[in-house]
Structure 1
Amino acid sequence: MEDEVETPLTGGNMDPVVRVGETVRRVTGPWTPAVHTLLRAYAEHGIAECPRPLGVDERGREILTFLPGGVMAGLPPAQLWSEDLLRQAAALLRRMHEASTDLVAADLLWRQDRHEPAEVICHNDVAPYNLLVSAGRLTGVIDHDMASPGPRVWDLAYLAYRMVPYAEDAPGLAEAPGFADAPRARAHRLELLLAAYGLDVEPAELHEVAAERLEALAAFTDARAAETGRADFWEHAAMYRRDAARLRAGAFE
C-alpha cells in the first residue's frame, strides 16, 4: 500500500525518523510518555505547529502527525536569517512554554536532566534544523524528545545561540542582509528575539546561560559519540565547547 512506504526525513541527527503517509515514525524510549503528555498539552492550547501523538506502531515506534513545510536550515541565507522568522521562532517558543507550565511539577520521566529554577518544559533543541517553514511562515517545530523542565532562559539562550547566531557553524552569514557589521547585527537580533519572546534579561546573562547550556550539550554529545562511535558527534561537542568559551570571553558583547 502507498501509505506504508517509508521515506527518511531530515532535520535532527540523533535518531532515524521516517514518514509513512501523513504520519511520522520515531524510536521510543522511557521518556516517550512524558513527551506525548507534553504534545497533548500543546494541542489543548491550540498550538498547531507541534505534532500530535497518535500512539505506537507494530514495530514499537511512536506515531506523530506529519507537519507541513521544509526544514528552515535548508533555506538560502537571505531567508534563513530573516528577522521575521527570528521573531516567529521566539513567539512560538513563548507559546509552547506557556502551555507547558502545569507539567513542571508532574511525575514524569524526561530524557534530559531537570534544570532549576524549573519554570516551564524546555524543548532543549529549538533551532533551524528543528523548525519548519512554508511560504515565509513558521509551520512547525519537531524533535521534542529532548524536552525537560527548566528555566525559560535555558531554552531561549539556545535559540539565541542558533538564530542570533553565535554558533561557529552558522551558514551563509556573509551573504545575509544586515551582517556587514556582524557585532551590531547580532546585538539587534538579540533585542528582537527577547522582545518577541517577552523576557527581560541582560545580554551578558543570556550569554552565560548559553555557555552553560553548550557545556551540558557537549557532555551529552560526548556520551552519544561513545555509544554510537560517530566521529561527527565528537566534532560537534568540541565546537560547543569552543563556542561556550567565546561566549564566556565576551566575544559577542
Structure 2
Amino acid sequence: MDGEEVLAGGNSTLVTRVGDTVRRTAGPWTPAVHSLLETLRHAGITEVPQALGMDEHGREVLSFIDGDAAHYPLPDWIWEPCLLRDAGALLRRIHDASVGLAQADLTWQLPTHQPAEVVCHNDAAPYNMVFADGRLTALIDFDTASPGPRIWDFAYLAYRLVPLGENGGPGAPDEQQRLPRLDALIDAYGARFGHGQVFQTLAARLDELAELTDGRAAATGREDFLDHSAMYRRDRGRVSAMARGLSVR
C-alpha cells in the first residue's frame, strides 16, 4: 500500500512499516499473541513490541522497534559473548512473565507442547532480534508463540546462537567453542539444563520443524522451504551425533 515500507523477514506473511508502527496479516492466534505482549509489557519487559490493536484493513498493529537486524548470512558481531548473555537473560525474563498464560484457554498458531510451563516464542533467533551498539535490545515476531516447556524454546535459541547447526556462516565459532558457548547460554538463562537434555530436545524440535516446513512447501509451492527442511534434517543428525558423543565420554 502507498506509504508503506516492506520489512525484511516476514517469511510467511507480508510485514510492512507505517511510521512508528508495524502491520502484518492477522489470524485466529493474534488475540493470544497480543495478550502475551501485553502481559510482558505489564511485567516491565520493554524489549518486545507493544500491541496496538488492528488497523482498518484487519491487520495487527505493533510498535516498531528501531535498531540493527541480523539476517543470514549473519554478521561476525553476532557471535560476541555478550549477546549470548543478553539473549539467555531476556528469554528467561519473557518465560517467567508468561507463566500465567501457559494454561489459559487461548488459540495459538502452533500446537502446545507438554509440559506447558511457559509461553514459548518458538522462533527465538538472531533474525527475530534487534540490536543497538553491539547489544541485544529486543526480541520481535511472536506470531508463532505457543505454550510449552522452557527447554523447547531454549534449545532452539541455542541452535541458532551457539550455533549447533550448519547455518552459522563462515564467521561462526568452531566446534571446540560450541559447548563452552552453550554453557554460557545456560548460565545466562539460569537453569540446570544438561547438554544431553538440550540436544535431545533440539533433535525433536528439528524433526517437527522439518515436517512443518515440508507442509509449508506443499501449500505454497516454494522450493526454498524444501531446502530449509533438508537442512533441519541434516542438523538433526549433527545434534544426535553430539548427544552420542556425550554418552561415549
Q: Normalising by structure 2, report the TM-score.
A: 0.94
Other-structure match for 2:236: 244
TM-superposition CA deviations, 1:18-62 (whole Å, max 9, x none): 000000001111100100000000110111110011111111110
**Contact 1:224–1:233 (CA<8 Å) still a contact in 2?**
yes
Secondary structure of the structure 2 residue equivalent to 1:24: strand
Over residues 186-236 of structure 1, what are the superposed CA-to-partner deviations in whole Å (9 max), with x where a residue is unaligned? 011001000000111111110110111111111111111111111111110
Instruction: Please state how far the C-alpha of 1:12 moved relative to its aligned partner.
Output: 4.4
* Counterpart AA for 2:53: G
* CA distance in structure 1 between the partners assigned to 2:63 and 2:207 by the alignment: 33
- Matches of 1:78 and 1:234 in 2, distance apart? 27
Match of 1:183 in 2: 175
Which residue does 2:215 correspond to in 1?
Answer: 223
Could you tell me which residue of structure 2 aligns to residue 138 of structure 1? 136
Correspondence 1:143-222 to 2 at 5 A: 143-173=141-171, 179=173, 182-222=174-214
The one-letter amino acid paired with 1:69 is: G
Sort the Cα spacing of 1:245 and 1:74 in 2 relative to 1 into closer, same or farther, 3 A.
Answer: closer
**Paired letter, 1:124:** N
Q: Could you tell which deviates more after superposition, 164-173 or 59-68?
A: 164-173
Deviations 1:133-161 (A, max 9, x none): 01112121111010000000000000000
1:170 is matched by which residue type in structure 2? G
Of 80, 83, 108, the residue aligned with 1:82 is 80
Q: Which letter does structure 2 place at the counterpart of 1:7?
A: E
Counterpart pick for 1:65 among 38, 60, 63: 63
Contact 1:40 1:52 in 2 (8 A): yes
In the alignment, the residues of structure 1 paired with residue 200 and residue 58 of structure 2 have an alpha-carbon distance, to the nearest angstrom, of 40
CA distance in 1, matches of 2:41, 2:74: 31
Give how far 1:109 is off. 0.5
Q: Secondary structure at the match of 2:8?
A: coil
C-alpha deviations, 1:160-203, integer Å up to 9, x for none?
A: 00011012121233xx5xx3xx2320011001000000111111
Q: Give 1:250 deviation, angstroms.
A: 2.1
After TM superposition, give the deviation of residue 72 of structure 1 in Å. 2.6
Q: Specify the code of the residue in structure 1 equivalent to 2:178.
A: R
Runs of 5+ unmatched residues, structure 2? none
Distance 1:59 1:70 in 2: 28
CA distance in 1, matches of 2:123, 2:57: 26
Report sequence identity in percent. 52
Tell me the residue number matched to 1:43: 41
Amino acid at match of 2:135: R
> Is the CA contact 1:217–1:240 (under 8 Å) kept in the aligned structure 2?
yes
- Number of residue pairs the alignment of both structures matches: 245
Match of 2:124, as an amino acid? V
CA distance in 2, matches of 1:74, 1:210: 21
**CA contact 2:37–2:51 (8 Å) conserved in 1:** yes
Deviates most, 105-114 or 8-17:
8-17
Secondary structure class of the residue paired with 2:22 = strand
State the superposition RMSD in angstroms. 1.7
Distance in structure 1 (CA, Å) of the matches to 2:206 and 2:65: 28
Q: Which amino acid aligns with 1:19?
A: R
* Alignment counterpart, residue 117 of structure 2, candidates 111, 116, 119: 119
- 2: CA distance, partners of 1:140 / 1:195: 20
